[in-house]
A and B are shown apart, each in its own frame.
Chain A
Amino acid sequence: MHNRIILNLVVLNFLIGLSSTLKAASTIELEIRNHLFFPSTLHIPARTKVKLLIYNRDSTPEEFESYELNREKVIMGNSKAVVFIGPLPPGRYPFFGEFNPKTAQGEVVVEE
């Protein structure tokens, strides 16, 4: 009984370890409200994968998009979405909301 549990835990650990990098990606939260990004500037460390948790507080869909980051995802109204970014060399990476590009603008600042 105990051996079975331990075996299951070991196998589970092995599988989880296979599918993830050395440490879990840290999470940053981003909000879309009134077709604006909050915060509009994000700071992340260089060469690190980061998980963006984007909450669309508007009732209309928005598309989080960035050529520099190579990311595009539609987030329906009153929904949240996960987008992974990085690893990236240091620099500034703008992003925008494709459906409201005049207002929904932001930047990811990658620093050492």
Chain B
Amino acid sequence: MLLISVIIILREVLEAAVLISIFAVLARHFILPTRSLKLGILVGVFAALLYALNLRAISSWFGGLGQEVFNALVQFAIFFSLLLVSVYFVSVKQQQSLPRRFGEVVMFTVAVLSISREGSEVFLFVSGFSAGDPQLGAVMAGIALGAGIGFSVGALTYFTLVHFPISKSFYFLLCLLGLVGAGMVIQGTKLLVQADILPSRLPLWNSNDVLNENSIPGQMLFAIFGYESTPSSIDLIAYFSAILLFVSSIVAIHLWRRGSRGVSLV
């Protein structure tokens, strides 16, 4: 039970931990306050509880498809928020920053959404144990351990990335945000296929021989980047559309900011 609890919590915490640590690196380099991140974490935990408490009702929406619709929308919202975060930081790097409040709001939004989505499963898992259950001790210990490992991975990510000079690491960090975002889109797409809202198709290939989705690295890649060993055409269209949209937005904000700077110099 201890090990099961550790694994459940770890998988949920990992994704949010990596995202938040990337934001922390960017905030550190651009001397931005991190209060929006901290507030986002707090609100995210409450939102997770709220979601878990209302899941029965949410699941019954849309004729039983409420869970998939709601979760998919959250995934897509995280993607768009990540896109906006990246656009914001490009503007900061170009020294023509969009309003700081904008950057804070989008980072806050990503923190809340990603924690509430993952965190709700932790609350649901715990809700299955009654107050006097002898296994509750092991469950709580497992949660603490899993969360600890997750936070450690986040901290490791932070301390590894923050050491690189921002001029070198900036686009690498944006790539990470883009890949995580595209992973969100593919996960949201799979939920809509599960609910038969999007069409289902045969998988196009199977890369389990190269990297098994069930292996530890496979599970970590799945949790953070949405790694899919048997994608269908729908998955690929969604994924590459997300990448395209993300890259286009970065290019657009580059050109726009540089363009207006050029005009003001004249």
Contacts and interface: CB of A to CB of B under 8 A. Distances in A.
Interface of A: 21, 25, 47, 49, 51, 60-63, 67-68, 70-76, 79, 81-84, 86-89, 98-99, 101-102
A98 B201 CA distance: 25
A74 B201 contact: no
Contacts of A47: 202
Contact of B194 (A84, A89, A101, A102): A84
B56 interface: yes
B64 interface: yes
Closest 8 CB pairs of A and B: A60-B128, A84-B196, A67-B213, A76-B56, A61-B124, A87-B202, A99-B125, A70-B190
Nearest to A93: B230
Q: Which of B4, B195, B200 has the most A CB atoms < 10 Å from its CB? A: B200
Interface in B197-230: 199-203, 213-214, 219, 222, 228, 230
B202 A74 contact: no
Contact of B8 (A21, A71, A76, A98): A98
A89 B201 CA distance: 10
A71 B55 contact: no
A74 B59 CA distance: 9
B138 interface: no
A70 B59 contact: no
A76 B4 contact: no
Given A73-B194, A89-B203, A82 B67 contact: no
Interface of B: 4, 8, 55-56, 59, 64-65, 67-68, 121, 124-125, 127-129, 190, 193-196, 199-203, 213-214, 219, 222, 228, 230
Contacts of B8: 98-99
A56 to B, nearest CB: 11
Given A76-B59, A101-B4, A71 B194 contact: yes
Contacts of B124: 61, 63, 74, 99
A13 B127 CA distance: 44
Contacts of B129: 60
Contacts of B121: 63, 74, 98
Nearest to A71: B194
A89 B232 CA distance: 12
Contact of B59 (A79, A98, A102): A79
A51 B193 CA distance: 12
A83 B67 CA distance: 11
A49 B201 CA distance: 9
Contacts of B230: 68, 70
Given A60-B127, A73-B67, A74-B121, A49 B200 contact: yes
